[in-house]
Chain A
Amino acid sequence: MSEPEPTTATQRPSCSALFLGFLGLGLTSFGGALPLARRALVERRRWLGEEEFTELLGLCQFLPGGNIINLSVAVGARFQGVAGALAALLGLVAGPTAIVIGLGVIYERFHDDPHIRHLFAGLAAAAAGLMVSMALKMARPLRGQPVAIGVALLAFVALGMLQLPLLGVMLVLTPLSVLIAAGRRR
C-alpha cells in the first residue's frame, strides 16, 4: 500500500497476531463487542488511529452484516489481505461460538432461576451504558462543527426516536451529508 503509515498506529500485525487479537476481543466482549473493539484496536493495541477506526466503522455500518464482524474483516484485510481478513474473522467468532454452544447445553438446567435472570438484566443494562459512553466518545471530534452535529442529531432522531427503517435513512442522509461535506471543503 502506498498510503503513508498512520501516525497513531505503531505496528503492522501478522495473521496470527490478528487471529489472537480478535480471539481475545471475542472472548472478552460481553454485551456487544463494539465498545471493547474501539478500546482494544485504538487505545490498547494501536492498530488503528481514532479517525481510521471511525472511518472503517462508518464503511462497515453502511454494509450489511454485523458491524464488528465487518470491522474484523476490514482490519484483517488492511494489514494482511484476504488471509488476514479470514484470520481476524475466525478469531472473532471461534471463542464466542464455543461458549454459546456450551451455554446452550447447560441452559436447560437453570433458565428458570430468578437469580440468573437478575444477573443477565444487570449485565445487559451495563452493556447498554457502554454503548452510550462509546457514542459520547465518538462524538467528541464533531465539536465546533454545527452542520455535522445537525446531521448526527438527525440520524439519531430518525433511527433512535422515530425508528425509521435503517436502509432508507442511510440512503437519504448519507448523500446529503456527503454533499454538505463536499460543498464545505470546496
Chain B
Amino acid sequence: MSETLFALAVIFTQLSLLAFGGGNTVLPEMQRQVVDVHHWMSAADFGALFALARAAPGPNMMVVPLIGWHVAGWSGMLVASLAKFIPSSLLTLFVLHLWQRFKDHPWRRHVQAGLLPVTIGLVAASALLLVQATATSWLLFVIALLVALFDVFTRVHPLWLLAAGALAGLLLGSG
C-alpha cells in the first residue's frame, strides 16, 4: 500500500510541475502513467473518472483526487491531491514574490504588457478546443453559442446558463 502511495506522490508531483497551460495538457501523460505504466485501471475507467470530474464543480483537475481515491482510498486521495496541488502552488508563490519585489522595474511593465495578448490568445484557444470537444452536434453547438451570447450581452448568472444547457441537452437528447 505504501508503495502505491509513494508512486502516486511521485507521479502527481511530476505532473504538477509539468502542467504548463493548465491541467488538460498533462492528461495524456496522466493516463499513460495510471493506465499503461501502473495498471491501476483500464483506459475506459480513466475516461469515466475524467467525465465524472468534469461534471462536478471546481477546477478542472478534480480528476486527481478521484484517481487517488479510486487507487488507494482516502489516503490515496490525500496524497494525490497534495502532490498535484502543492508543488505548483509553491512555485506560484515564489514567482509572485519576485513579481512584487520588482514591481517598480520598467521591465515588469513590459512583461505585463507583453503577457496580456498572449494570455488572451491562450484563453481563446482553450475556448476553441473546448467547443470542438463538446459541441459535437448542431444542438450542442447552438447551446454553446447561445450561452456565449447571453453571457456577453446580459448579466444572467452563469450557473443559470449552465443549468439551461444541461436541461436542453437532457430534453432534446443532445442531438
Q: Name the one of B62, B85, B131, B134 contacting A100, with C-beta atoms under 8 angstroms.
A: B62
Q: Name the one of B81, B100, B166 contacting A97, with C-beta atoms under 8 angstroms.
A: B81
| Closest A residue to B175 using CB positions | A121
Given A32-B60, A119-B170, A161-B128, also A130-B158 (CB < 8 A): yes
Instruction: State the majority secondary structure of interface residues on B.
Output: helix
Whether the pair A67, B22 counts as a contact (CB closer than 8 A) is yes
Whether the pair B110, A31 counts as a contact (CB closer than 8 A) is no
Whether the pair B165, A125 counts as a contact (CB closer than 8 A) is yes
Q: How many A-B residue pairs have CB under 8 A?
A: 362
| Closest A residue to B152 using CB positions | A133
Size class of the B contact interface (CB-based, 8 Å): 35 or more
Whether the pair A135, B92 counts as a contact (CB closer than 8 A) is no
Given A100-B65, A127-B162, also A160-B128 (CB < 8 A): yes
Whether the pair B59, A104 counts as a contact (CB closer than 8 A) is no
Given A96-B58, A178-B114, also A119-B166 (CB < 8 A): yes
Which residues of chain A from 130 to 159 have a CB within 8 Å of any chain B CB? 130-139, 141-142, 145, 148-156, 158-159
Whether the pair B143, A156 counts as a contact (CB closer than 8 A) is no
Instruction: State the majority secondary structure of interface residues on A.
Output: helix
Q: Which of B21, B81, B110 has the most CB of A within 10 A?
A: B21
Residues of A whose CB lies within 8 Å of any CB of B are: 1, 3, 26-36, 39, 54-55, 57-70, 73-74, 77-78, 82, 85, 89, 92-93, 95-97, 99-101, 103-104, 107, 111, 114-115, 117-139, 141-142, 145, 148-156, 158-161, 163, 166-167, 170, 173-182, 185
Residues of B whose CB lies within 8 Å of any CB of A are: 16-23, 25, 48-49, 51-63, 65-66, 69-70, 77, 81, 85, 87-89, 91-93, 95-96, 99-100, 103, 106-107, 109-131, 133-136, 140-141, 143-152, 158-159, 161-162, 164-170, 172-174
